Copies of this chain bind each other. A is one copy, B any other.
Amino acid sequence: MARRRQAVTIKHVAADAGVSLQTVSRVINNEPNVRPEMKERVQASIDKLGYVPSIAAQRMSGSRSYLILAINDRERTIADWQSRQGTDWVDQMLLGGMLTCAERGYRMLVELIDTHSDHVERELGAAIAALQPDGVIVTPPHSENPLITGLLAKKHIPFARIGSKEPGHGIALTMGDEHLAKLATEHLAGLGHRRIGFIAGSEEYSLADWRIDGWREAMENAGLEHEGLCQRGDFGFESGVRAARALLDLPDPPTAIIASSDQMTLAALEVAKERGLTVPDDLSLISFDNTPLVRFTSPPLTALDQPIAATAARAVELLIDEGRDYVSDTPVVIEGDLVIRGSTAAPKRR
C-alpha cells in the first residue's frame, strides 16, 4: 500500500490565506474569536482549494471522530439478510440515522455484535478502540444487555438505547409499544371484536411485555376478558404457527389476533388459511411490524408502524447534541401509527 498523503491539508489553506494553522482550525470548527473578515478569507481559501479536514487527524488530536456506531445483533441481522423476507430494520435505521448524521458532518457505521457470545465486551471494546466513535446506538436486545450498556457508560461514550426504558446511563428511546398495542386493540374492539388474541414476542425483549401490557390494558378498558388469550412466541414464524394454533384451538377462540412481529402475523395468516378461515371475515389480523411484506400478503395486513427511521434520527441528534454523560430518567418516546389495510374487519360470526 503506497503512502497516500492528504492532497490538501490545513497547512495549504493556512499558507494560501496567509494565516496560522490555528486560525484555519478555528474557522473549520466554527469557533469564536475569529474576525469575520479573517473567517471569510480563510473560508475563501478552503473553497478555492477544496479543502476537507481528515477525520483521522481530527480524531488523533483529541477531537471528534465524527463517527456514530449503530450496533445490531449479528445473528439476527444476518439471518434477516439471508432469508430475504423483507425485514428492513437496518434500512430504516440508515434512512433515519445515516441521513441525520450526514446533515451534521457525521457518518454512521453499522456494526454487528453477538449478544449471546461470552465475549461481547471484547467485541464491543475492540470496535470502540479501533473506531473511537463519538456515539453508539444500541438496538434490542443489546440495549438491555448490561455488559454492553455498562461498558459504554464506563468508557463515557455517549450512547442511545433503542427499545429500553430503564433509567440510567445512555439515552433511552422507545417507539411507544404499549401505545401501539392499545391502538391495535382499540381498533379491533371498535370494529366489534370481543375476543382479541395476542401473540407476544420473546421474553428476552422487554418491549415484548410492554406490548402485552398495552393490549391487556386496552382490553380491560373496553371491558373485555383477556384471560388465556395471550400466547408467547419468539418473533419467528414457527413460534407464530404454534401460538396461532393454540389460540384458535380455544373453546371460545378469538375473532381477531394481534401478533408482535410480521413473521408471526404471517404465520397466523397461514394457520387461518389451513383451517379454512377467511381473513378478515372469520379472523382479523394486525401485525406489529409494517415491513414491506405486509403489503403483499393477501389480504394486505393492517399493521402497526414503528417509526424506526424517526427514532434513529432522534437518537443521532440527541447523541450529537447532548449525548455526553446523558442519564435517562424517562425514555424519549417516538410514537408510531396504525396503518389500516385489508386484514381487519368487523367480525362476521359472533
Contact = CB atoms under 8 A, between A and B. Distances in A.
Given A7-B129, A62-B5, A125-B50, A85 B292 contact: yes
Contact of A110 (B2, B94, B290): B94
Q: Which of A60, A126, A296 has the most CB of B within 10 A?
A: A296
B52 A3 contact: no
Interface string A1-22: 1111111100000000000000
A78 B82 CA distance: 22
Interface in A117-149: 122, 125-126, 129-132, 134
A349 interface: no
Interface in A53-68: 53-57, 59-60, 62-66
Given A1-B134, A293-B292, A296-B293, A54 B129 contact: yes
Interface residues of A, number: 64
A91 B88 CA distance: 8
A338 interface: no
Q: Which of A5, A85, A107 has the most CB of B within 10 A?
A: A107
Interface in A32-82: 50-57, 59-60, 62-66, 78, 80-82
A2 B132 CA distance: 13
Contacts of A30: none
5 contacts: A1-B134, A4-B156, A56-B59, A57-B60, A292-B292
Given A56-B132, A57-B60, A98-B112, 20 more contacts: A1-B63, A1-B134, A6-B132, A51-B129, A52-B129, A53-B129, A53-B130, A54-B59, A55-B56, A56-B57, A56-B65, A81-B92, A81-B95, A84-B295, A86-B86, A86-B291, A102-B112, A107-B111, A293-B293, A293-B296
